[in-house]
Every structure is written in structure tokens, then in C-alpha cells.
Structure 1
Amino acid sequence: MAQLLEQQGVIITGGTRGIGKAIAEAVLAEGGRVLITGRSQASVDEALAASNHPELFGMPADVANEEDTVAVFARAVELFGKVDAVVNNAGIARAGAIQNLRLKDFQMVMDTNLNGAFLYSREAFRVMKDTGGGRILNIGSISSETPRFGSVPYTTSKFGLQGMTRALAIEGREIGIMVSCLHPGNVHTDIWDKAPKSVADEPKMAVKDIARVAVLMLSMPQNATIIDATVLDPRQPFLGRG
């Protein structure tokens, strides 16, 4: 039986941990070939050693750096022959009341969450347009629709990412590049170790469950796409939360 992503070459930013790592594992399980990026060589080496999968590759890269971005795509083409899909997963957050936030905190979140997605999407268009198209999957957040208190930088970046997704989808549809946004609710990763207890105690999904949805969105037939998907534990405060 054919696997959903058999022999497809996929780039996943922030793929050394959390949601990115889970998506990488799910793509590999469906026959894909994966190049992950991480902030450091050490984090990449650790992820590669833990997986020990022959079709998992990695390299350190700053997602907000143009030269690093070009180098990642060049490496992917070298490894896979072409790039079938890009998952813009790398993301950070800086929390706090607006009056206490520094401009550098806001800019840092924009650089990673929004500028990084722009650079990888731009390079994906440049590479994919001559090879039959492909898919871009942006990892958003339910915060783009229902933010928490103290989340101005993060929420702004994810709201912008949703807008970028829709604008890119228009530009890509005539050249076979489909662009989607996956909005996870609470997902059980190590970021919850730093969360306030009232938030940390909320119900969460396992990372493997959000990864299943990512694979579904990446493996849709050529004549179908999922533009937006919101996925969360049904017990999590979301609909109607204050």
C-alpha cells in the first residue's frame, strides 16, 4: 500500500523539538524525506541521533536570515532533487502586559514567527514554481482568533501568519503551490513548564495528534486543499472563553 507522502522532500523549520519534531516523525512514517532546521548544530545533532532515521536530515539555520534560508533550500534540493513541501513551524513567544514589553521583544517574535515564514515561503515559491508546485503549511495558533491576556507579540504574529497564508494561496493557485494554515490549541510540549499553573492545567492534545492533521493537510490530492484547520482538545477553553 502506497504511503501518503512517499518520497516527498519536506523542509520543517523548528523541527528539533515539540510540534516540529512530531510532524517530522509523522512525515517519515508516511514515506517522506525530511530536512529539519534548528537554532544550533547541537540541537540538530541531538534530534538526528534520537530519530536515527536514514531519511531525516538537519542543519542549523536562523529562519529570519536570508542567506541561511537560501542555504536550507539548496541543501534540500541537493538531498531530494526538489522540494515538495515546507512546514513553517519555528516560533517563539514573549508574554507580558503591553506596558512592560520592550520593542526588542516584539521584534524578536516578528522576526521568527512572521519574517521567517515570509522568507521560507518566498524561497519555496522560487524553487517550486519550476518543479510542478508543492505545498506550504504554516503552523498558526488559535491565539490568532482568541488571544490570551499578555500575548500581543505572539497573537499579532499568528494573526499576520493567517493573513499571509491567504495572500500566498492566491499567488500560488495558478502555479500549483497550495498554502494552508494549521491552528493548534494546547499541545503537550515542554513550553508548558514555564506557563502559569492556571493555564498549564488546561487540557492538551498530544503532539502526535496535531502531527496527524499536518500529514493530512500535506497529503491532500492535487485538486483539493485545506486552507485553515483549527484542532484542539474539545475540553480546552476556546469557544466562549474570556
Structure 2
Amino acid sequence: MVKNYIVFGASKGLGDAFVKGLPNVGDQVWIVSRSRPNSLDINDGVQRIWLEADLSQPSNRYIITEALQNERIDVLIYNVGVWEKEGFEDHYNFELDELEDIASIININLTSTITYIQALLPNLRRSNSGKIILIGSTAGLDHTNSSQVSFVTSKFGLRGITNALREHVRKDKIAVTCINPGELAAEIPFEEGAEKAISEYNGTRIPVQDIVSLVKCVVNLSNVACVKEINVPAITDLNA
């Protein structure tokens, strides 16, 4: 069966991998991002449509709803996340975070997630087997030893969105899943393959192909099944 996808945060990294690796010939993918994705240039029988939107502005959701109108959405993937400046550096100090940066992280990672998904629920209800997949992080799990207060808060909150949203759309047989990857080899483009990603980071970062494979499994389940949450740390990560 032909599927309609919408992928948020899809111009590069994991989002770009979803756009390239998930759809089959005949499928349609709406790509939501600020910058033009190079996946638009692929000629593989998949229809890809770019929707230019700054997801830090919840009001831009009307750009999306106007473009889709009454189109059916089978799979919505929300792959958006920002973090503290130098948050992954050894010298990072939460007490030096600026108020504007804290507010921006919470807005982009939580508020926009809620508002954009809310706007597209009518389109998802047109599917016989709707799927909503939110991409979180192992940083949002318990005891992962991260001191990035705002980022960790937002990713922990994403799990709350997942659980509450699942209850809201249960009657519609829309499955809601949160996938929490560890550190990804997102700088290695999907088309360059998993082996390059593994070699480049000496097996310490997860190839984006692994997450694409997991999402493909979830997407292909019937509307009887619901995968609630998947945690995917790197096997070398002792804190996850």
C-alpha cells in the first residue's frame, strides 16, 4: 500500500536518512525544514515535497496545514531537537546558560512538537493505520549522567508528550512511539552506508541506518500493535 509521510527536521542528519531510507516507490513524503534538502534531487519513484518552515515559530504550522489541506498522512515523524551551546563539551556549565537559550530549547523541543502535531491530527485520522513517531534521546532517560538541564528536561518531556498523546488518539487507532537514540553518526550521509559510520567513529556512534530500520519496522506494523518506546544507546555507552 502506498504511504504518505511527513518528516519534520529533515534537511540533514537522521531526518534526511528517514526521507531517503523509509519510503518505497509510489510513496509521498512531505519534508519540513528551513533549508532546501538535497533529497529533492533524488529520482527513485518517491514523490518528495519540501515545506519550508521555521519550527521555532509555532505559528508557522499554518504553512503546513495550508499545504496539506485534506491529504491523508500515514506516518508523522517529528525529528527536531536543539541543545545547549557547548552542551556536549567537558567544560559545559549549566549556570552559564542564558535565559534566551533556555527558553528557545524548551520552545523548539516541546512547544513546537505539541502544536505541529496537534495541527495535523485531522490528516492522520484519514489513515487506516496512522503512526506518530517522536525522536527523543537517551539523555531523556533516567540515570544517563547528563547535566544539560534544559535539553534533558525537554527530552524527558517528549516522553510525556508521547504517553499523553497516545491516550488522546487511542480511539483513532493511531499508534504513538518515542524512539530514544544515543549518540548518532548523523554527520555521515545515509547514502554513504552504515559501515563508513561505524569505521569513522570506531563503533561509538550509532549509524542512522539502524534507526531507519527500527522506524521501518514500526511503520509496517498493523493498527493492532503499538510500540510505546524504544531505547537505543550505543553498546559502548555505559551511562545509558
Q: Give the TM-score normalised by structure 2.
A: 0.82
Aligned-residue offset at 1:183: 0.5
Q: 1:13, 1:20 within 8 Å by CA — same for their partners in 2?
A: yes
Native 8 Å contact 1:62 1:69 kept in 2:
no
Q: Identity of aligned pairs, percent?
A: 23
Which of residues 20, 23, 39 is equivalent to 1:25?
20
* Alpha-carbon distance, 1:237 to partner: 2.4
SS of 2:171's partner is: coil
1:172 paired with 2:172, answer no
**In the alignment, is residue 11 of structure 1 matched against residue 6 of structure 2?**
yes
**Maintained 8 Å contact 2:132/2:175:** yes
Secondary structure at the aligned position of 1:83 is classed as coil
Alignment RMSD, CA only? 2.3
Q: Say whether the 8 Å CA contact 2:3–2:23 is kept in structure 1.
A: no
Deviation at 1:223, TM superposition (A): 0.2
8 Å CA contact 1:128, 1:134 repeated in 2: yes
Q: Which amino acid aligns with 2:102?
A: F
Verify: 1:36 aligned to 2:26, yes or no: no
Aligned counterparts, 1:95-114, within 5 A: 95=87, 96-114=92-110
The aligned residue for residue 90 of structure 1 is 80
Which among 56, 60, 63 is matched to residue 68 of structure 1? 60
**2:49 matched to 1:57?**
yes
| C-alpha distance after superposition, 1:97-147 (max 9, x if no partner) | 221001111111112111121012211223333555621100000001144
Assess, with a 3 A threshold, how the Cα gap between structure 1 residues 102 and 201 changes in structure 2: closer, same or farther. Answer: farther
Relative to structure 1, is the Cα distance of residues 220 and 238 closer, same or farther in structure 2, using a 3 angstrom cutoff? farther
TM-score by length of 1: 0.82
Per the TM alignment, residue 205 of structure 1 is displaced from its structure 2 partner at its CA by 1.3
Classify 1:130/1:69 alpha carbon distance in 2 versus 1 (closer, same or farther; 3 Å).
same
Contact 1:87–1:138 (CA under 8 A) maintained in structure 2: yes
SS of equivalent residue, structure 1 residue 126: helix
Structure 2, unaligned runs of 5 or more: 189-200
What residue in structure 1 maps to residue 197 of structure 2? none
What letter corresponds to residue 81 of structure 2 in structure 1? G
In structure 1, stretches of 5+ residues that fail to align are 1-5, 192-199
Number of residue pairs aligned between Structure 1 and Structure 2? 220
Q: Shift in Å at residue 178 of structure 1?
A: 1.5
